[in-house]
Amino acid sequence: MTVEPLQLSDFSRDDHGSIGLVRESVPRPFKPTVVAEMSRVVSNDAVNAEYYHLVVECGPVAAAAEPGQFFSLLCPKLPGEEPFLRRPMSLYGTNPHQGRIEFLYKVVGSGTRGLATLKRGDLLDIMGPLGRGFALDPGLTDIVAVGRGAGLATLAPLAKAARRNGTRVTAVFSARRPDLMVSVGLFEEQGATVIQVTDQEATSGPANVERILRELITDGRCQAFFTCGSSRLMRVQQRLAEEFSLPGQVAIEQQMACGIGLCFCCVRDFNVGGTIVNRRVCWDGPVFDLLETLP
Amino acid sequence: MKLETDIDMSVKIGELTLKNPIMPASGTFAEGLSQVMDFDRLGAIVTKTVTREVRAGNPTPRVVERPNSMINAIGIPSKGVAHFVEKIIPLYAHLSTPLVVSISAPTADGFACLARDLSLPGVAAIEANISCPNIEEDGKAFAMNADSTATVTRALRAATDLPLWIKLTPNTGDMPAVARAGEAEGADALVVANTILSMAIDLKTFKPSLGNVMGGLSGPAVKPIVLRQVFQCANAVDIPIIGCGGISSAEDVIEYMLAGARAVQVGTATFLQPNIMPRIIEDLQAFCYHRQINRASALTGALLIEEADESDLSWLDPQ
Ligand SMILES: Cc1cc2nc3c(=O)[nH]c(=O)nc-3n(C[C@H](O)[C@H](O)[C@H](O)COP(=O)(O)OP(=O)(O)OC[C@H]3O[C@@H](n4cnc5c(N)ncnc54)[C@H](O)[C@@H]3O)c2cc1C
Ligand SMILES: Cc1cc2nc3c(=O)[nH]c(=O)nc-3n(C[C@H](O)[C@H](O)[C@H](O)COP(=O)(O)O)c2cc1C
Ligand code: FES
């Protein structure tokens, strides 16, 4: 394995400003661009048998989060359970005017079980916004969003952002069963077309998804891929992106401890021009170039 | 003393004066934190351990949580010394906070050469991580025994004029002997301590929870053990001790200082509360103010072991 050469991007993140060699002679009050603060729960409702939709009131720094960024949540502890670390959750929605952010999460373990107990008015310690989100080129007229499971939550803010740019979105959403499908209404409200595939209906296999995507490409509806939540579907898009020379971005998950680039526990391998490099998902991502990402 | 800000928060670690006793623990701090807090508030900055060669680190999973603690097996990934000198040291050059550079090497000679090469303008001290349990086979490290600690400290001392801190492992059975060996060979301070060698198993898969099988335990759960070790080391040597293990509040810092620490490092707690270090500094200052302690450094070693008479504590009590 060859190892990553020196990169300025290791510590300067121009997109989000703030990091780098800032030299100043006049001290000015420190302004954080990431906060850890107590937010207040506005609502936390089950949307189906597995997912909850959480809305919290937060300060302006948190509410300025962008699509593809995430927060790290200090989950309430249920009796007998001891989640210790924070839990990463993608931004599902934001309303900077109301000072609100939203999450859509699946209950899987001690942390998310604790989250599910939150009631209106409760406090929740949120840390964010974290990471580098989707870069949505305003020049694109047509994009395709492909997601599965909790990945649909991560893709959700794209719908609104794309509409603002006048970009048409076609979403291909995959789930085990139709009743576990999330985010569909949200995409449709923003004018997106949603194609649903499920395991139950035997429509979610890679071959069928590839067929759907090929059609979209032929119809001129796919200038770029945006995806999250399934390695199998990512591989399908990588093949097509290569074949048709299309760009793409993928949001990936990895276990985290700090969420802000300190601990190097969230690394994954990437293929950058034939060289395998190691990147931190929380810091360099969680959104990465589709073709560089390894399954 | 009229104001909290009248309290002298500074501490001396050998020749180096820190504006307060709070600094990050190596491997739990990086430039990303500058989004959350002002680095100029810290007593010192301690960088992630760097090695001469480029290292990939351990396979994932690299971390697993346990009650009030976590186990990590990151494996000291490193971009090597050239990257560190060109890209990392300059990041902190504009700060008033001194930069402490943590180093590791597989041999005493390797440690010495690296310390020499990193004794550069902008570097205020060298912290030799002679303790990381993940590097050496079976978790063995120089700081496991007094002889190898003496060997590596002697080599380091000959290689640099900068203040030399050596970071001990809590996994040795004879902390005081290791501490004395470091002091005898010229270390300026001891950092007590690194993580506790440990393990976790996943009951779903019957596999070890960490890619590296074993890892280092950190977080609040380790504090009573490391506090004891700070106490033992402080009784064994005269050089300053920097306490490190499970600190997440000013109360924890005060315990460490009473047990003999001159300063402390905060690690895992930053993962849970990225802004914890500035908060601890404020709380420590507030504690000193309320207890009418003029200088934070007065807390160091102020533990009263014998049954205290009233008068012994009077200097601590508000009038
Ligand atoms: C950047 C990012 C964004 C995410 N966004 C969402 C989202 O919007 N909605 C959603 O439902 N889930 C999302 N996840 C997954 C979510 O973080 C996990 O489901 C959650 O951490 C599980 O915690 P738990 O205590 O319930 O489960 P446990 O299995 O008990 O967790 C044990 C440990 O493993 C970690 N872990 C478990 N599953 C994952 C996972 N898939 N990814 C990373 N770490 C994991 C936990 O954080 C914890 O440290 C995201 C993950 C990442 C990395
Ligand atoms: C993720 C992680 C990475 C670490 N990396 C290093 C390292 O590179 N060098 C080192 O000397 N100690 C390293 N440590 C140990 C810490 O510096 C510290 O000694 C230990 O975590 C105990 O303090 P804490 O309980 O406050 O975390 C690491 C700890 C953690 C949790
Ligand atoms: S979670 Fe710590 S570096 Fe990414």
The beta-carbon contacts of A12-16 under 8 Å, at least 24 apart in sequence, are A13/A132, A15/A132, A15/A135, A16/A132
Q: Give the Å distance between the CA of A23 and the centre of ligand 3.
A: 26
Per CB-CB distance under 8 Å, the chain A contacts of B82 are 6
Q: Which residue in B253, B254, B262, B195 sits closest to B233, CA to CA?
A: B262
Q: Give the Å distance between the CA of A114 and the centre of ligand 1.
A: 13
Single-letter code of the amino acid located at A32 = P
User: Could you tell me the CATH number of the domain that includes residue B279?
Assistant: 3.20.20.70
Per CB-CB distance under 8 Å, the chain B contacts of A255 are 60-63
Please answer yes or no on whether B62 and A74 come within 8 Å at the CB atom.
Answer: no
Q: What pLDDT, on the 0 to 100 scale, is given for residue A71?
A: 98
Q: Which atom of ligand 2 is nearest to the CA of B195?
A: 20
- CA of A274, closest CA in chain B: separation in Å? 17
CATH of domain A142-248: 3.40.50.80
Per CB-CB distance under 8 Å, the chain B contacts of A254 are 60
Q: Which CATH architecture has domain A35-130?
A: Beta Barrel (2.40)
Single-letter code of the amino acid located at B6 = D
Q: For residue range B174-197, what is the model confidence (pLDDT) as tens digits? A: 999 999 999 999 999 999 999 999
Please state, in angstroms and as integers, the Cα–Cα distance from residue A175 to each residue in A84, A209, A229, A230, B140, following that order. 30, 12, 10, 10, 48
Please state, in angstroms and as integers, the Cα–Cα distance from residue A181 to each residue in A216, A222, A235, B133, following that order. 21, 22, 21, 46
Please state, in angstroms and as integers, the Cα–Cα distance from residue A193 to each residue in A177, A188, A221, B73, following that order. 19, 6, 11, 45
Mean pLDDT, chain A, rounded, equals 90
Pick from A19, A23, A258: CB nearest B94: A23
Q: Which of B132, B233, B244, B288 is catalytic?
A: B132
Q: Which CATH number fits domain A254-290: 2.70.98, 2.10.240, 3.30.1330, 1.10.10?
A: 2.10.240
With 90 as the cut, is the pLDDT of residue A114 above it?
yes
Give the model's confidence band at A29: pLDDT under 50 very low, under 70 low, under 90 confident, else very high.
confident
Alpha-carbon span A230 to A227, nearest angstrom = 8
Q: Check: CB of residue B49 under 8 Å from CB of residue B104.
A: yes
Tell me the three state secondary structure of residue A62. helix
Mean pLDDT value across residues B59-74:
97
Alpha-carbon span A230 to A214, nearest angstrom = 18
Q: Relative to the alpha carbon of A76, which ligand is closest?
A: 1
Q: What pLDDT, on the 0 to 100 scale, is given for residue A183?
A: 86
Higher pLDDT, B310 or B224: B224
Q: For residue range B132-147, what is the model confidence (pLDDT) as tens digits? A: 654 544 557 899 999 9
- Domain extents for chain A? 35-130, 142-248, 254-290
Domain that holds residue B179: 4-316
- DSSP assignment of B154-177, as one string? HHHHHH--S-EEEEEPTT-S-HHH
- CA of A58, closest CA in chain B: separation in Å? 16
Single-letter code of the amino acid located at B56 = A
Label residue B245 left, alpha or beta by phi (over 0 means left) and psi (-120 to 50 means alpha).
left
Q: What pLDDT, on the 0 to 100 scale, is given for residue A6?
A: 32
Pick from B27, B56, B273: CB nearest A3: B56
Q: Which residue in B98, B38, B16 sits closest to B281, CA to CA?
A: B38
- When divided into structural domains, chain B yields a total of 1
Q: For residue range B238-297, what is the model confidence (pLDDT) as tens digits? A: 999 999 999 999 999 999 999 999 999 999 999 999 999 999 999 999 999 999 999 999
Q: For residue range A187-224, what is the model confidence (pLDDT) as tens digits? A: 999 989 999 999 999 999 999 999 999 999 999 999 99
Q: Is B132 labeled as catalytic in the residue annotation?
A: yes
The answer to whether A207 faces chain B, any CB pair under 8 Å, is no
With 60 as the cut, is the pLDDT of residue B118 above it?
yes
Per CB-CB distance under 8 Å, the chain B contacts of A82 are 65-68
Mutation to probe ligand 3, out of A34, A130, A264, A284 (largest number of atoms < 8 A from CB): A264
Q: Relative to the alpha carbon of A83, which ligand is closest?
A: 1
- CA of A204, closest CA in chain B: separation in Å? 27
- Look at the alpha carbons of B15, B17, B20, B25 in this order and tell me if their dihedral is positive or negative: negative
Backbone angles phi, psi at B118, to 5 degrees: -100, 5
Q: Relative to the alpha carbon of A257, which ligand is closest?
A: 3
* Burial profile B217-242: b = 16 or more Cβ within 10 angstroms, e = fewer: bbbbbbbeebbebbbbbbebbebbbb
With 90 as the cut, is the pLDDT of residue B5 above it?
no
Q: Give the Å distance between the CA of B46 and the centre of ligand 2.
A: 11
Alpha-carbon span A197 to B257, nearest angstrom = 61
Q: Which residues pair with B265 in a beta bridge?
A: B23, B244
- CA of A128, closest CA in chain B: separation in Å? 9
Q: Which burial class, exposed, middle or buried, applies to B15 when counting CB atoms under 10 A from its CB (0-12, 13-18, 19+)?
A: exposed
